[in-house]
Amino acid sequence: MEGKVFHMSHTPPSKFFANARELLLDLQALQPDTTQGDTLETKVDKIIDEKQVNEVTKLKEDNGASMNPGITTPLKIDTDKENENNKSDLTSTLGLQDEEAIPLKVIYNKNKYDVNFPLNQTVMQLKHHLQNIIGVPRAMQKVMIKGLAKDDRTLKELGVTKGAKIMVVGSKLDDVLSVSTPSQLDLSQEKAATSTKEPFCKQKIHRKVLDAGVPDDVMPGIKNIKEGLPQFPISGMLNKHGGKVRFTFKLEMDQLWIGTKERTDKIPMHSIKNVVSEAIEDHEEYHIMALQLGPTEASRYWVYWVPAQYVDAIKDAILGTWPL
């Protein structure tokens, strides 16, 4: 606090005593208040703050009076607005503000949905947003952005831009198909097969199909080569009864269609618990493959003469391990 200096030669006596009284009051105000816990520093701060507010108020009143004589305009300090501005500045500095939602095209089950969503949100947040729009629980959704999108990635990280098309696959709870329970004979044969360490092609349960030889209409197999899923069904394979089997992948519906001469089973891919395969001895360009349709290995659906070049793509499509 600046000291006050008085010069008797230029100060009338009445003014001098008034200034001395003001100085005395200021010094008394600076004494510590033991009841309130104020210190000398806090007293100084309070006096300075009060004087600044008074000076600003006086200046405002003087300006208002000069423009409109006889009218005094009180100074109003909008602290709420100031706090809001400070908060906005802090949010901007930290980069926490939400981005503006941009328009996107979501494709599900051959239907298109116009969705507005921020690019800085994650795939999981997008699933949560979509579950009420498309009617599919987020846990059953697969979001396709250059392959299967991971839940913790943001749309911006995945390269999504305004107007982009995003495909979502997944089945509604009431559309999940039930899988028939295996017969007692199937269970006993499966148990005997899994209890051995022999390769699939050596086990008795599989030999009865393999001994019939390579089917005439089977698709050409290529070993040591990995190819994506073809645009047409994978046909010419056999089931455990020796009947013809074809695979048709309906990615837009999250379904694998297993077709035979008698019927076509539309299996939700998320309901398939596991996929295993082994190359067939002396015919390594083909595999034996098992799709686990139920909770245990006894529910495996066996398929023979699967072209080797499509094995990894089949597993990726069903188990959800698409590369980004």
At residue 254 the predicted structure's pLDDT band, cuts being 50, 70 and 90, is: confident
Mean pLDDT (whole number) for 278-293: 96
pLDDT of residue 103: 95
Residues 30-40 pLDDT 10s: 455 544 455 54
pLDDT of residue 253: 86
Residues 208-249 pLDDT 10s: 999 999 999 999 999 999 999 999 999 999 999 999 999 999
Q: Is 1 a domain residue?
A: no
Kindly state the tokens that stand for 323: 């590369």
Residue at a domain's end among 40, 68, 94: 94
pLDDT of residue 324: 40
Question: Does the structure show a pLDDT above 60 at 171?
Answer: yes
Neighbours of 51 (CB within 10 A): 11
Residue at a domain's end among 172, 201, 234: 172
pLDDT of residue 194: 54
What is the rounded distance in angstroms from the CA atom of residue 57 to the CA atom of residue 53?
A: 6
Same domain, yes or no, for 144 and 267? no
Mean pLDDT (whole number) for 64-71: 50
At residue 99 the predicted structure's pLDDT band, cuts being 50, 70 and 90, is: confident
Neighbours of 258 (CB within 10 A): 20
Question: Does the structure show a pLDDT above 50 at 114?
Answer: yes
User: Cα separations (Å) of 250 from 44, 72, 108, 161?
Assistant: 78, 78, 12, 26
pLDDT of residue 42: 54
Higher pLDDT, 75 or 294: 294
Same domain, yes or no, for 82 and 117? no
Range from 66-80, 160-174, 254-268 that averages highest in pLDDT: 254-268
What's the domain range around 239?
184-319
Mean pLDDT (whole number) for 79-86: 49
Which amino acid, 319? L
pLDDT of residue 235: 96
Instruction: For residue 251, give the nearest of 174, 301, 314 by alpha carbon.
Output: 314
pTM beyond cutoff 0.75: no
Q: For the chain, what is the mean pLDDT? A: 76
Residue at a domain's end among 49, 68, 94: 94
Long-range contacts of 37-46 (CB under 8 A, 24+ apart): 44/1
Same domain, yes or no, for 73 and 194? no
Same domain, yes or no, for 197 and 300? yes
